[in-house]
Amino acid sequence: MLCEICGQKEAKFKTVIEGTTMSTCEKCKSHGPSQVIAQQFKPHSKLPPKKIEEEIVVEGYGNLIKQAREKKGLSQKEFSEKISEKDSIIHKVETEHSVPPIALAKKIEKFLGIKLVEVASQEFGPQKESKGQQLTIGDNIKIRKR
């Protein structure tokens, strides 16, 4: 792991600089009011990947709902009454001017016998270092002209 201040040398220290804990090299650990918290730390390189799952409404949901509703021979008004929703909401959902909340999408799924909700997952793992391209704190500082 490279120093978060200079980005040049290997970070061997955890240092508090102006209230922020940073990974620093031997040279940068003395910047500002700081103190060494732990020496010779090694970052966790074998952290298990983190998986985030979320329910989302499928693409083209409006057309799916409209086709299934028409297949049952229902108008928007009749359909909205059967599932106890306002017909304006059904119109907005069918025209895809509004994405239905997951609870409404599931209610529509159950009534029409279609699939509208799917589970999307995203996996985050440990980041791999690329030499010379890691951002440092200096990359994020904007200098204000007086």
Q: How many beta carbons lie within 10 A of that of residue 113, not counting itself?
A: 9
Report the pLDDT value the prediction gives residue 137, as an integer from 0 to 100: 64
- For all residues of the chain together, what is the average pLDDT? 79
Over residues 2-28, the mean pLDDT reads 78
Q: Determine the Cα–Cα distance for residues 87 and 81; give it in Å rounded to an integer.
A: 8
Residue 131 lies in a domain: no
Q: How many beta carbons lie within 10 A of that of residue 14, not counting itself?
A: 17
Residue 146 lies in a domain: no
- Do 116 and 64 sit in the same domain of this protein? yes
Token pair in block for residue 67: 């086709």
pLDDT digits (tens, 9 = 90+) for 105-142: 999 999 999 999 998 877 766 555 555 556 666 666 65
- Do 77 and 37 sit in the same domain of this protein? no
Report the pLDDT value the prediction gives residue 18, as an integer from 0 to 100: 72
Report the pLDDT value the prediction gives residue 45, as an integer from 0 to 100: 55
- Do 37 and 59 sit in the same domain of this protein? no
**Does the global pTM surpass 0.85?**
no
Residue 140 lies in a domain: no
Question: First-to-last CA distance in the chain?
Answer: 36
- Do 38 and 57 sit in the same domain of this protein? no
- Do 56 and 36 sit in the same domain of this protein? no
- Which pLDDT band, with edges at 50, 70 and 90, does 145 fall under? low
Token pair in block for residue 129: 């270092």
Tally of structural domains, the chain: 2
- Do 112 and 55 sit in the same domain of this protein? yes
Q: Determine the Cα–Cα distance for residues 115 and 8; give it in Å rounded to an integer.
A: 53
Alpha helices, DSSP H, located in the chain:
61-71, 76-82, 87-94, 102-112
Q: Determine the Cα–Cα distance for residues 72 and 31; give it in Å rounded to an integer.
A: 72
pLDDT digits (tens, 9 = 90+) for 63-108: 999 999 999 999 999 999 999 999 999 999 999 999 999 999 999 9
Report the pLDDT value the prediction gives residue 4, as an integer from 0 to 100: 83
